[in-house]
């Protein structure tokens, strides 16, 4: 018995040491990543200096027509320099990239009507294809423009929900990394649902379970409707069932008032 207790204590200490080692490794990776990003920003700044004049003339065209060479051009030059500090568009982290851009835009005081043009200058891949297919009207609103780009990557609430619910430990990941990944995806789901209070979170959680508990044929309909409140979803479901009560049920049911099966009374 003592031997088993000793072995159990040794195993606990071993696991504790491994967990500390893993935590130190992750911290080191985060520091290395921060240094890498810093070097990348500096590299981009140097690399894009050769394009500075072209960028300035493109972004500063309106200012030149309105006010000549004065303060407007100075602002445009500052915008171009600031834009160079934004990392290239990341197709793997589109929502995060937009949040990073918006923070920079607010920090440097960029005018809202210029955001679409500044973002468009960074797009690539699927996002660039979506941009090319947009009309002039689609580009009038930054929020609509961003929503169209996010839609191109299916970064909508349902996609985040499925990603969270289907999350599994990836090969090579520690359980700590797995936990962090799930937490990150969950936060993206909550953010995409615009949950901003404890009550809203409760509503979201109960809504999901309500849909899962519904009849099989109602589940896709309830998800497509994207009701804002649980009451709306429940009321619609009851109305739908009442409206279709006399219709044949999926899986071999029968219509009320229809012919009875073999052996039925006459």
What pLDDT was estimated at residue 60?
52
Mean pLDDT of 41-47: 54
What pLDDT was estimated at residue 258?
44
* CB of 204 closer than 8 Å to CB of 195: yes
Helix-strand-coil percent breakdown of the chain, rounded to 5? 70, 0, 30
pTM of this prediction? 0.42
What pLDDT was estimated at residue 241?
92
For the stretch 176-230, pLDDT in tens is: 999 998 998 898 889 888 898 999 999 999 999 999 999 999 998 998 888 989 9
Measure Cα distances from 154 to 57, 126, 166, 226 in Å.
35, 11, 16, 16
For the stretch 46-67, pLDDT in tens is: 445 444 444 444 455 444 444 5
Residues in Cβ contact with 189 at an 8 Å cutoff, skipping those fewer than 6 apart = 157, 160, 161, 163, 164
Q: Where are the domains of the chain?
A: 1-64+71-85, 86-155, 156-192, 195-244
Secondary structure in 3-state letters for 179-196: HHHHHHHHHHHHHHCCCC
Q: What integer best gives the mean pLDDT of the chain?
A: 77
């Amino acid at each position: 018995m003592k031997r088993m207790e000793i072995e159990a204590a040794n195993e606990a200490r071993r696991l504790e040491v491994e967990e500390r080692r893993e935590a130190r490794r992750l911290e080191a990776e985060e520091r290395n990543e921060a240094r890498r990003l810093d070097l990348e920003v500096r590299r981009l700044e140097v690399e894009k200096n050769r394009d500075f004049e072209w960028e300035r003339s493109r972004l500063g065209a309106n200012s030149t027509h309105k006010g000549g060479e004065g303060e407007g051009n100075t602002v445009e030059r500052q915008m171009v320099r600031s834009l160079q500090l934004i990392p290239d568009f990341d197709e793997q982290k589109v929502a995060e990239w937009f949040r990073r851009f918006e923070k920079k835009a607010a920090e440097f005081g960029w005018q809202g009507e210029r955001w679409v043009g500044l973002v468009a200058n960074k797009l690539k891949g699927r996002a660039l294809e979506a941009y090319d297919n947009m009309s002039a009207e689609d580009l009038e609103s930054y929020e609509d423009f961003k929503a169209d780009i996010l839609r191109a990557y299916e970064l909508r609430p349902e996609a985040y929900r499925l990603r969270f619910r289907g999350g599994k430990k990836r090969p090579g990941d520690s359980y700590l990394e797995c936990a962090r990944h799930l937490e990150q995806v969950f936060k993206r789901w909550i953010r995409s649902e615009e949950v901003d209070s404890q009550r809203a979170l409760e509503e979201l959680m109960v809504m999901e379970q309500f849909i899962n508990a519904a009849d099989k044929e109602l589940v896709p309909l309830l998800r497509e409707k994207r009701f804002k409140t649980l009451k709306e979803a429940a009321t619609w479901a009851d109305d739908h069932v009442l409206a279709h009560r006399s219709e044949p049920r999926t899986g071999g049911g029968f219509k009320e008032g229809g012919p009875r099966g073999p052996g039925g009374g006459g």
